[in-house]
Amino acid sequence: MRRSLLTLAALLALTAPAFAQTPIKRQPDGKPDISGMFAADHGGANYGLEKRAATNLTPGGRGLVIDPADGTLPMQPWARAENEARKLPERGYDDPTAHCFVAGVPRSVYAPSPFHILQPPGYVVLLFERMSWRQIPLDGRSHLPDSLRLWQGDSLGRWEGDTLVVETSNLNGKTWLDELGGVITHQAKVTERFIPVDGDTIRYEATVNDPGAYTRPWTIMMPLRRQNSELLEVACHEDNQDLGHLKDVRDAAREAAKKKP
Amino acid sequence: MRSGALQTTLGWIGAAMVCVAQAATVAHHSFAAEFDDNKPVKVTGKLTSMRWSNPHGWIYVDVTGPDGKVVNWAFETSSVNALYRAGWRREDLPVGATLIIDGWQARNGTPTANAYSITFQDGKRLFAGSPAGAAGTPSTPPASK
């Protein structure tokens, strides 16, 4: 029996995560080396940033908003109404990621797929498994002209001590913050902080300042964990049967609305 | 090692393998918008094919109804990258295998569903990455229809 317990202990030791903290790796210039595969903790935050109960088909939300302190996003009334409307099944068709568009900022980081951080000289590059990317120059350049609007926006980075700060503007306002229809407009400026905690953990914070939809800036926080994996192919357009099903739901709701007196 | 201890150890290994086969929930769209929480389904059928396609995998099974009519059901799984990381492989699902699959039916009323789990005749069970099995969420298998 003792031997079987030892065998079991050995098995568990092989499969259990390493609890000992690994030191933060450094680049030759002394800045943190945060390269490698990472994913947002607990499958990310694609199911909403505010705390919410689970249903059979939507996992519960842990509540990732650290500012305001009550965990509620400070939405303007129209944005709250739009967010509630997007939760209806007939609005599922409208989520850009259902059409395989890129997830935008900050959603790309916490969509439920891992991403690869690269640190070539002068840049930080994020390669997302859903086959999109963000290239973040660190050379102090200025943002693009305000007339240019992009799905992933224009991101510029800098190091503040051991924290990588990334400021993003020039967003197109067409993305959703999550599957539940969180609102973000083209006026948004997003400040992300990648704070190495140890060699395998990054504290990720994103402050969204969007006067188009919110009454004040707000901040979310989640851990990013190193993954023992490599990027796999997710060619989203290959067989997107879901879109047809979601369109059926939308069309049925439109027909029902027409028949209402 | 006594046989009882061996069985216990193998049981732990088996439990670990079941955990490995639990695919993470990886959707590119809202499952709740496409499928109906209030329409749990559970069918027994013969596997006709599995599509290892993006953005989601699909399992097709012929289900014979009480009237003898055969309906080909389509069950959606998590994304194939999540299935692969969870240890799923093509050979796990041989065409012709008898499977019990539970999940939730599509809102459009077609024989389409979001798969929760697949059980083989020998009792082996694979979880397909339904949100009900997501980390941090109570796992709630759908009731029989």
Residue B27 covered by a domain = yes
Residues of B in contact with A180 (CB under 8 A): 30
Query: How much is the CA Rg of chain B, to the nearest whole Å?
Result: 16
Pick from A46, A56, A92: which is nearest to B132 by CB? Answer: A56
Mean pLDDT score of chain A = 91
**What percentage of residues in chain B have a pLDDT greater than 90?**
52
Weakest mean pLDDT among A85-89, A93-97, A110-114, B3-7: B3-7
- What's residue B131's pLDDT? 62
Asked if A112's CB is within 8 angstroms of B55's CB, the reply is no
Confidence at A20, pLDDT banded by 50, 70, 90: low
Tell me which of B7 and A164 has the higher pLDDT: A164
Amino acid code (one letter) for B52: W
- What's residue B119's pLDDT? 95
**3-class secondary-structure state, position A87:** coil
- What's residue A57's pLDDT? 82
pLDDT digits (tens, 9 = 90+) for A32-75: 999 999 999 877 788 899 998 888 788 888 899 999 999 999 99
Residue B103 covered by a domain = yes
Residue B127 covered by a domain = yes
Count the Cβ atoms, other than its own, within 10 Å of residue A212.
14
pLDDT of residue A6 exceeding 70, the answer is no
- What's residue B25's pLDDT? 65
Residue B140 covered by a domain = no
Residue B143 covered by a domain = no
For residues B38 and B24, what is the distance between their CA atoms, to the nearest angstrom?
23
CB B51 within 8 A of CB B80: no
pLDDT digits (tens, 9 = 90+) for B23-33: 666 677 788 89
pLDDT digits (tens, 9 = 90+) for B60-87: 999 999 999 999 999 999 989 989 988 8
CATH number at residue B23: 2.40.50.140
Asked if A54's CB is within 8 angstroms of B130's CB, the reply is no
pLDDT of residue B13 exceeding 80, the answer is no
pLDDT of residue B10 exceeding 50, the answer is no
Count the Cβ atoms, other than its own, within 10 Å of residue A28.
6
**What percentage of residues in chain A have a pLDDT greater than 90?**
83
Residue B123 covered by a domain = yes
Domain that holds residue B29: 3-133
Nearest CA in chain B to A48: B30
- What's residue B128's pLDDT? 87
Asked if B31's CB is within 8 angstroms of A100's CB, the reply is no
Residue B139 covered by a domain = no
Task: Determine how β-strand A201-209 pairs with β-strand B125-127.
Answer: unpaired
Residues of A in contact with B58 (CB under 8 A): 239, 241
- What's residue B24's pLDDT? 65
CA angle A217, A203, A15 (to 5 degrees): 145
Residue B138 covered by a domain = no
- What's residue A62's pLDDT? 84
- What's residue A60's pLDDT? 81
- What's residue A8's pLDDT? 47
Question: A259: buried, middle or exposed (CB in 10 Å: 19+, 13-18, 0-12)?
Answer: exposed
What is the value of pTM for the model shown?
0.85
- What's residue A10's pLDDT? 45
Asked if B35's CB is within 8 angstroms of A57's CB, the reply is yes
How many domains, chain B? 1
Pick from B2, B85, B134: which is nearest to A43 by CB? Answer: B134
Confidence at B143, pLDDT banded by 50, 70, 90: low
Residues of B in contact with A59 (CB under 8 A): 25, 131, 134-137
Asked if A54's CB is within 8 angstroms of B29's CB, the reply is no
DSSP code for A23: P
pLDDT digits (tens, 9 = 90+) for A125-161: 999 998 999 999 999 999 999 999 999 999 999 999 9
- What's residue A18's pLDDT? 45
